Structure 1
Amino acid sequence: MRQSYTPSIPELQSFTACARLGTTTLAAGHLNLTQSAVSRSLATLEDRLGVALFNRVRKRLVLSPAGHAFLDKAEAILAQLDDASVGVMAFGGRTSILRIAALPSFVRSWLIPRLPGFTAIAPDISLDISARLDPVDFIRDPVDLAIMRKTHQPTGSTAEIILPENLVVVASPALLKGASNLSDTDLLNLPLLQQSTRPTLWLDWFRDGDADPRRALRGARLDHFDMVIDAAIAGLGVGIVPHVIARQSLDRGTLVLASGRKFETGDAYALILPDGQEPSAEVRLFRDWLRAAVRR
């Protein structure tokens, strides 16, 4: 049988503790082990790898070149194990897990405010929601469903339209100073906030006019629509954002419409499911709840 060269968790813990603390005695106290147990783990690890990880200098352990090379990787492995353990512990007491990948701004502005309605009817389902800007690969990514733009639908999946994407132009009331329904010329005289992952939105807005594209592309660049919303509220400029994401701020009055027209991108937010398998009971329940939430 082939010999295993994979270190055990106690060996990695002893190694990283000794590397940081400098002696087996201090490492033993940190790990709540005996000094002899830590020493044995180090000896076993060095024998397993066939390399000295420490130089013994005046009763202190000093990392060898091999030890330096190994330390970051060993700590990363232990950190990943800790993260995995904590993640699993978060689902304690729940019978099911529903893993969702979704656009971050849509999650924050539309989905999360409505999720108490889902948890009320599905208290035993634990939600694991991750923010994604890129299309999901259902073979590689451990998710049950995705809520993305329809154009992000990957191959091997089906998409159900949730909401069409309509863009609106918003700004803080203080920036507009009581003005409303600005013309394109007026807009171009204000700072235009740019969304860096969709950099052509302002060009699309001004497409039918004679605006200088160089002016349309000037302004602070931000990664997410949430950041554009926050920047507009702060008075940094005018944002062009999906109405569904701006709606809360518009209802609160922290933002107002700077233009009376909307721009339909032809895209839409969609519920995306993998092909080739029957949706689980959890996915079906969420899908039905989502449909009802959209109708409301």
Structure 2
Amino acid sequence: MRKRYIPTITELEAFAACARLGTTTLAAAHLNLTQSAISRALASLEDRLGAALFHRQRQRLVLSQAGHVFLEQAEEVLARLNSAATGIMAFGGRDRVLRLAALPSFARSWLIPRLPDFTERHPEISLEISSRLLPVDFLHDPFDCAIMRSQHEPPGATSLEILPERLVAIARPALLQDRAALSDEDLLNLPLLQQSTRPTLWLDWFRGREIDPRRILRGARFDHFDMVLDAAIAGLGVGLVPEVLAARALAAGSLRLATERGFKTGESYRLIFPPDTADTAPIAPFRDWIAGQARTAGPPATP
């Protein structure tokens, strides 16, 4: 029979524990095995690979050059197996798991507050939601669907519009000094908070006016709209953010509209999924639920 060279899980775990802890005694305690079991696993692994993975120095195990090379790969294998196992455990006895990628700010402000309704309606579906800023490749990424802006819809995908995107200028009430609404010139006299992943938003707002771009683009820069909102609440300046993301802070009074003018970007937030999966579970019930939420949420106010 041909000899198998693939290490066992026990061998990999014993090797990784010894590499990190330095002795078979500590590795045995860590893995809840006997010292002799650890020693046998190491001997079997070294025999299987035909290389010494450790140097024995004064009752300590010190990685050899081969051991250093093998450790990173062994730990990667163990980590991937652990991730796969915990992913299956996420089913929690339920029939299905929906793996969703979502824009972090939209998920926090619009999606998550509504999810209790979905989980009550569909207790058989477990949700696995990941933050994502870049477009999803359904052929290679482990997602069933995604909530992204329309410009991130990959070719050939199917989508459902949730909300059109409308930007509003918001600020801490104290920064506005009780002024009902600021003119564009007033805005330019205040720090304008910048969104680094969409750096042209303020330029688009002031498009058509003869204004030095250096006046428009000054101000602190932040990666996410959530950070822009927090910075505006802290009084660092005026933020330009999607209206849907600012709604809760505006309703709470921690932010105010700096001007009644809004700006439609021409984009929308969409639920995106691979073709030919729209009527399959668990995408179909989530799609139908999102469609209902989009209808009841109503469109943003017109500018």
- TM-score range with shorter-chain normalisation? over 0.9
In 2, Cα distance between equivalents of 1:121 and 1:51: 57
The residue correspondences of 1:107-146 to structure 2 (distance < 5 A) are: 107-146=107-146
Where structure 2 has 5 or more consecutive residues not aligned to the other structure, the ranges are: 297-303
- How do residues 65-214 of structure 1 correspond to structure 2 at under 5 angstroms? 65-214=65-214
Note the alpha carbon deviations across 1:89-145, whole angstroms, 9 max, x for none. Answer: 232121111121111111100011111111111111101111111111111122222
Q: Which amino acid aligns with 2:144?
A: D
Q: How does 1:211-222 map to 2 (within 5 A)?
A: 211-222=211-222
**Equivalent position amino acid for 1:252 in 2:** A
Q: Provide the secondary structure at the position in 2 that maps to 1:262.
A: strand
CA offset at residue 205 of structure 1?
0.5
**Structure 2 contact 160–291 (Cα < 8 Å) conserved:** no
* Alpha carbons of structure 1 residues 4 and 291: separation in structure 2 relative to 1, 3 Å: same
CA gap of 1:59–1:188, structure 2 versus 1, over 3 A, is same
Equivalence for 1:290: 290
**Aligned partners of 1:202, 1:283: CA distance in 2, in Å?**
36
Equivalent-residue separation in structure 2 for 1:145 and 1:115 (angstroms): 16
Aligned partners of 2:165 and 2:265 also within 8 Å: yes
What runs of 5+ residues in structure 1 fail to find an aligned partner? none
> Once the 2 structures are TM-superposed, how far is the Cα of residue 274 of structure 1 from its aligned partner?
1.1
Offset, 1:235: 1.1
Give the 3-state SS of the residue equivalent to 1:281 in structure 2. Answer: coil
- Counterpart position of 1:7: 7
Q: Is the 8 A contact 2:96 2:124 kept in 1?
A: yes
Is contact 2:90-2:97 (8 Å) kept?
A: no
Alpha-carbon deviation of 1:71? 2.3
**Range 244-253 or range 29-38, more displaced:** 29-38
Query: Residue by residue, what CA displacement relative to the aligned partner does 1:19-57 show, whole Å, maximum 9, x if unpaired?
Result: 122221221122111111111111111122222111111
Deviates more, 1:97-106 or 1:84-93: 84-93
Give the % identical residues. Answer: 65
Cα 1:212–1:278 shift into 2, 3 Å = closer
Q: What is aligned with 1:45?
A: 45
Match of 2:299 in 1: none
Kindly provide the amino acid, as one letter, of the partner of residue 233 in structure 1. I
- Tell me how far apart the structure 1 counterparts of residues 157 and 110 of structure 2 sit (CA, whole Å): 23
Question: Please, what is the CA RMSD of the aligned residues?
Answer: 1.6
Alpha-carbon shift at residue 276 of structure 1 (Å): 3.4
Give the letter aligned to residue 226 of structure 1. Answer: D
Distance 1:4 1:199 in 2: 55
Q: What is the distance in 2 between the residues matched to 1:233 and 1:89?
A: 40
Show the counterpart of 2:268: 268
Please say which of residues 19-28 and 143-152 is displaced more in the overlay. 19-28
Structure 1 residues 84 and 194: alpha-carbon distance in aligned structure 2, compared to 1, 3 A threshold: same
TM-score (norm 2): 0.93
State the 1:289 CA deviation: 1.3
Distance 2:229 2:90 in 1: 31
For residue 278 of structure 1, report the CA deviation from its aligned partner.
Answer: 5.1
Matched, 1:240 2:227: no
Query: Over residues 190-211 of structure 1, what are the superposed CA-to-partner deviations in whole Å (9 max), with x where a residue is unaligned?
Result: 1111111111001001112222
| CA distance in 1: counterparts of 2:187 and 2:107, whole angstroms | 29
Q: Residues of 1 paired with 2:54 and 2:251: CA distance?
A: 63
How many pairs are equivalent? 296
Cα displacement string for residues 266-296 of structure 1 (whole angstroms, at most 9, x for unaligned residues): 1111121211345213222112211111111
For residues 157-207 of structure 1, the C-alpha deviation after alignment (integer angstroms, 9 at most, x for no partner) is 122221110000001112222123211111111111111111100100111
Asked whether the 8 Å contact 2:10–2:41 carries over to 1, the reply is yes
Provide the C-alpha distance between the structure 1 equivalents of 2:117 and 2:20, rounded to a whole number of angstroms: 48
SS where residue 211 of structure 1 aligns? coil
Task: Please tell me whether the aligned partners of residues 278 and 284 of structure 2 are also in contact (alpha carbons under 8 angstroms).
Answer: no
In structure 1, what is the equivalent of residue 301 of structure 2? Answer: none
Q: Call closer, same or farther: CA 1:13–1:258 in 2, change over 3 Å.
A: same
